[in-house]
Amino acid sequence: MVNSVSVVIHPSQFPAAVSEQLRESLRTRMMNHKFHYDTPRQASAWLRVHDSYSPARRDEGCEEMYASGFAQVAKRMAVSGDLDVVSLGSGGGRKDATLVRALHARNPDVHYRYIPVDVSPGLSILSRAAVVEAGMSAQRCAPVVMDLEAEPDWEEALRGVTRAAVPRVVCFFGMLPNCDSGRVFPRLASILGDADVLLMSANLAPGSSYRRGVERVQPQYDNPLTREWLLASLFNVGVDPDDGSLSFAIREWPLGSGLLRIEGEFTFEKDRHLDCEGEAFSFASGERFRLFFSYRHTPKIVDQLCRQHGMRVMDSWVSVSEDEGLFLVEPCRKECE
């Protein structure tokens, strides 16, 4: 018999909040990324995309990059007593499991606690299972289902599951591409205490030319598996497959920022009327609906963004293919001003 799992549900994932967020997505013609992971089937589809196209799965050099980074973090966090591992956007938890193994191998006597935070209940539980398999006690895992985008104060939201005055390794793996830097970096800075470190991954643009590097990786998004995964969010609300088509393009956003992202837009090719969550919506032929975006960064851009928000990169590792990076970040407060 499988034991039950206790999961904390944050108010940002209460039914009324989720319903309003879905309506807002349809009103603004911009899909909230959370609805790409809404059902177990969508979460499984995302894992297939990740396994097929993520450098972390397909590039052996990328695995070595993470192993080197995690070993360095384990050496740095050689504390006695307690240590919390907080994974913001835990996904399937594979990187978290590798990190936990490295931490335990270096500091076997430390009392660890693992807090996976994800918008998907299925993924938060999957993360827990991965870390338990890696040797973490199930009693020391506290999964949280929360919409990080909707909740501005992450420190306050997690106060009931993290431990006061306990050093933390805060993980932010695979999240940066789908986040507005002007919103996410202040939140990351605010959650870091003086004894904490942040481990953040970034999808990078390989090569010496930023734009050409983004162009090189666009096929990782413009492919049948990713299209199937992204379109499911529209089909779930009543859009039909023959109502339009999905296309991908590279755009600068915000304008003038120099930041480039790959966007996926659905263009309606016929009128569509639908009812969703008690509200009627109409889409005209030719109208565009932004389904997805993914920023690509460079190590220099990541360093600049951290410094702008009271953090600094202490160490970094870049895969051989140069399309993924891992960054060890700490708060620097006044020193960064």
- Reduced to 3 states (helix: H, G, I; strand: E, B; else coil), residue 244 is strand
Torsion angle of the four alpha carbons 205, 210, 211, 212, in this order, in degrees rounded to the nearest 10: -70
Residues 278 and 323 in one domain: no
Q: Looking at the structure, do residues 280 and 315 belong to the same domain, yes or no?
A: no
Per-residue pLDDT band for 336 (boundaries 50, 70, 90) equals: low
Task: Enumerate the H helices of the chain as residue ranges.
Answer: 15-28, 40-53, 55-58, 60-76, 94-106, 121-133, 154-157, 181-191, 210-217, 224-235, 299-308
Residues 166 and 278 in one domain: no
Helix H segments across 134-277?
A: 154-157, 181-191, 210-217, 224-235
One domain, residues 289 and 257: yes
- In a shared domain, residues 324 and 194: yes
Instruction: Give me the number of domains the chain comprises.
Output: 2
Residues 233 and 193 both lie in one domain? no
Average pLDDT over residues 295-299: 97
Residues 57 and 192 in one domain: yes
> Residue 239 contacts by C-beta under 8 Å, 6 or more apart in sequence?
266, 272, 274, 283
Q: What average pLDDT does range 68-76 have in this prediction? A: 92
Mean pLDDT, the chain, rounded, equals 92
Q: Are 227 and 202 in contact (CB under 8 A)?
A: no
Inter-residue contact 239 to 246 (CB < 8 Å): no
CATH number of the domain bearing residue 202: 3.40.50.150
Q: pTM for this structure?
A: 0.92
User: Would you state the pLDDT for residue 164?
Assistant: 84
Name the region of 262 (left: φ>0; alpha: ψ -120 to 50; beta: rest). beta
Q: Which residues span the domain enclosing 246?
A: 228-296
- 130-166 pLDDT, tens digit each: 999 998 999 999 999 999 999 999 999 998 898 888 9
Q: Decide if 170 contacts 193 (C-beta within 8 A).
A: no
Higher pLDDT, 60 or 292: 292
